[in-house]
Amino acid sequence: MSNKIRRLYWDSSCFICFLNRDELKRRAICEEILRAARDKKVTLYTSMITITEVIYPKRSSLPHCRKLTPMEADKISGMFKWKWIKKINVDERISTKAVELARDYNLLPNDSIHAATAILQNVDVLQRWDRDFGAVAHLVNVEDPTPLTLQTTFSDMLPRIGPHPDDFESV
């Protein structure tokens, strides 16, 4: 058995599920992965564009969607200052690869940036919820986040990590 620390890349959907009060099961899995990153059991990467996507996510026309208050946005911004989340700047190399991926695999611009960042960071897996990166799955492993241990089942007994859906106004 290898002691290699798994290198994970998170698409913005992972952070959005972590913050969503309607996603309790997914939140528990994400919270466990964040704890593992904090404890250096995994290495967690994301693109700097994730911050924008999470704080001001693309919203549907559903009436319950609203902008975050400045205080709520600050809480989420604070989460992205955690040292255990490795934030990758979009540089020329990533931009060039993203254009190639968007062109060759018909990815949306932000999805192509996520895929390019994951590929060029040489991560073990790109984790996402509700996004289809199947077209590039032959270039980078793609999966939904999964529990690392059985501890996820008991996550309500552990101290909370980071912002919690209860920190935000209900709509």
CATH class label, 6-57+84-152: alpha beta
Q: Tell me, yes or no, if the pTM score tops 0.75.
A: yes
Q: Give the residue extent of every domain in the chain.
A: 6-57+84-152
Sheet containing strand 42-47, strands side by side: 85-88, 42-47, 6-10, 125-127, 142-143
Give 71-126 pLDDT, tens digit per residue: 888 888 899 999 999 999 999 999 999 999 999 999 999 999 999 999 999 999 99
